Amino acid sequence: VYDWFHLEGDGAGPLLNAWGFSDECLVIRPTEPEAVKRLFTQIIMAYQGRRPEDAFRIIAWLYETASVCQPELATAIQPNNDVAWLTEQACAMMQALSHTRIGVEEIAQALHVSRSTLTRAFRSSGRTTPLQMLLDIRIQRACELLTNSHQKTLTIARGCGFRDDKYFIRAFRRHTGKTPGQYRKDTSSTGAASGLP
């Protein structure tokens, strides 16, 4: 039985090489065929769902596929011990997915490292923890929505990845010293006083 698939984009070449494909080797037999089948089933289901947070899970599963096809080659395509690379990729994911409920564990999984490795990378680069960074990004997004929209607090909370409005209000107050309602009132009066819309 053969499974055929097509990859394109900047990362396709390194992935295919890591799996063991080349111009001379167009068909491979994975060392763990059942694991590859499971991974491709997950990838296909996630791709069909088309949720934003699944893009990073798909990337993680593609790299995992490399490790079960050609374990000795998989590490060559992913600089997961590079502190700058890890923190940059994690922050990019956090920014892109701040409107979802994605957590640090899922971000670490997408980068193919443990949560503790990701935390050490953040600390080594002089940043706060990944959890605090994700919270900061979500609060920043909430501030923008409170300033520039008329959405209700619950809608903003959910649109910034918080599980409920009570947790959101507590986190927002700890971060800014104000409730979301106070923050919105203060920013709207400041905008009116300065002539801003």
Checking if the pLDDT of 163 tops 50, the result is yes
Q: In the structure, what pLDDT confidence band is assigned to residue 188 with cuts at 50, 70 and 90?
A: confident
Asked whether the beta carbons of 143 and 116 are under 8 A apart, the reply is: no
What pLDDT is attached to residue 152? 93
Q: In the prediction, which pLDDT does 4 show? A: 66
- What is the dihedral angle through the alpha carbons of 40, 41, 47, 52, rounded to the nearest 10 degrees? -90
159 or 46, greater pLDDT? 159
Confirm if 167 and 138 have CB atoms less than 8 A apart.
no
Task: Specify the pLDDT at position 167.
Answer: 93
Q: Give the pLDDT band of residue 20 (cuts 50, 70, 90).
A: low
Q: Which residue, 115, 122, 14, is CA-closest to 66?
A: 14
Q: Which of the four pLDDT bands, split at 50, 70 and 90, describes residue 153? A: very high
- Contact status, residue 145 vs residue 160, Cβ threshold 8 Å: yes
Residue 41, pLDDT above cutoff 80: yes
Length of the chain equals 197
User: Residue 113 pLDDT > 90, yes or no?
Assistant: no
pLDDT for the residue numbered 49: 74
Is the Cβ–Cβ distance between 124 and 74 less than 8 Å?
no
Please report the pLDDT score of residue 139 as a whole number.
97
User: Of 106, 94, 104, 82, whose CA–CA distance to 139 is shortest?
Assistant: 94
Can you tell me the mean pLDDT for 78-83? 58
